[in-house]
Homo-oligomer: A and B are copies of this chain.
Amino acid sequence: MLGPGDDAAIVATPDGRVVATVDVLVDGVHFRTDWATGEQIGRRAALAAMADVAAMGAAPTALLVGLSAPPGTPTELVMAIGRGLNEEAVRAGAGVVGGDLTRSEVLTVAVTVLGDLRGAEPVRRSGARAGDVVAVAVLSRGFRSPAAAVGAYRVPEPPLAAGIVAASSGATAMIDVSDGLLADLGHIAVSSGVAIEVVTARLPLNPRLVEVASALGRDHLQWALTGGDDHALAATFPHGAVLPPGWTAIGAVRTGSGVTVDGAPWDQPAGWDHFG
């Protein structure tokens, strides 16, 4: 790796392959500067992008950050975002190796993450087989909107290693839950050509989500099934496999197609449309 003074970074890839993904977070869409500090925004951005690498069963090694900020943005905010990104990267065993800073009317953080498979095969979305167990691992707790949940929104807890241990435990398919659990399980179902059954009684619910949903008269189950803000990985494991720490079985893979919840096809909106 070269320092920030060169045109590009050089990252070691002893595996002979590199895992690469990009995630863009936009002020007012994915975060709000009035709800979160720069450091928290940086940490969320790093975590969201690193989760995509973890979902392949790889370890994050390097981050590149494209930061766009309005003229007049306090230097301290930009520095704080950088600190947050770097802290989360270092916690995951990676580092920020490069970036681009430009002006824009909207604060935008584009994070590219490179990752290392360490000789293992990547876990794709297409490997689920009938009979497999469906499981989730929560990477961080959060909500998109209720003001009462701002505390939870702010604090990511990123056991990114959940992806790596899933891969080494024989996970047959894996995905980063970013569109909502059902929507993302649907992606596995389509890619693998299988049906997926979810049993809601098994969902590892966030007690704060249940509490806030109840206070607001909303359905906590629908939030848990369709919200994109509780950062998690979903994976399938062979029948009878011992799930690694951090993973909770929530259902099963069957022949067929589509996703069912407690035996019924899910007919609610499946997730959060980031582009809608």
Please report A residues at the B interface, Cβ cutoff 8 Å: 2, 5-26, 28-30, 51-53, 55-56, 58, 62, 64-69, 71, 97-106, 108, 110, 112-115, 117, 122, 124-126, 174-176, 187, 191, 274-276
- List of 9 A-B pairs having minimum Cβ-Cβ separation, nearest first: A110-B110, A8-B21, A24-B66, A13-B13, A7-B55, A112-B112, A7-B52, A66-B110, A22-B64
On whether the beta carbons of B103 and A106 are closer than 8 Å, the reply is no
On whether the beta carbons of B20 and A104 are closer than 8 Å, the reply is no
On whether the beta carbons of A175 and B7 are closer than 8 Å, the reply is yes
* Contact partners of A55 in chain B: CB under 8 A: 7-8
With known contacts A13-B18, A21-B98, A104–B8 Cβ distance under 8 A? no
With known contacts A18-B114, A20-B98, A8–B56 Cβ distance under 8 A? yes
On whether the beta carbons of A274 and B103 are closer than 8 Å, the reply is yes
On whether the beta carbons of B11 and A17 are closer than 8 Å, the reply is yes
- In Å, the complex CA distance between A123 and B67 comes to 26
* Contact partners of A69 in chain B: CB under 8 A: 275
Partner of A22, one of B65, B125, B126: B65
On whether the beta carbons of B275 and A22 are closer than 8 Å, the reply is no
On whether the beta carbons of A10 and B17 are closer than 8 Å, the reply is yes
With known contacts A8-B55, A10-B18, A29–B125 Cβ distance under 8 A? no
On whether the beta carbons of B8 and A20 are closer than 8 Å, the reply is yes
Query: A34 CB to closest chain B CB, in angstroms?
Result: 16
Q: List 25 A-B contacts (CB under 8 A).
A: A6-B124, A7-B21, A7-B51, A7-B53, A7-B56, A8-B55, A11-B17, A12-B16, A16-B16, A20-B64, A20-B114, A22-B66, A24-B68, A24-B102, A24-B104, A28-B105, A29-B102, A64-B112, A66-B112, A101-B274, A101-B275, A103-B276, A104-B106, A110-B110, A112-B112
* Contact partners of A104 in chain B: CB under 8 A: 24, 26, 29, 106, 108
- In Å, the complex CA distance between A99 and B20 comes to 10
* Contact partners of A106 in chain B: CB under 8 A: 68, 104-106, 108
- In Å, the complex CA distance between A175 and B187 comes to 42
> Which residue in chain B gives the minimum CB-CB distance to A97?
B20
* Contact partners of A62 in chain B: CB under 8 A: 20
- In Å, the complex CA distance between A51 and B100 comes to 14
With known contacts A64-B112, A102-B26, A21–B9 Cβ distance under 8 A? yes
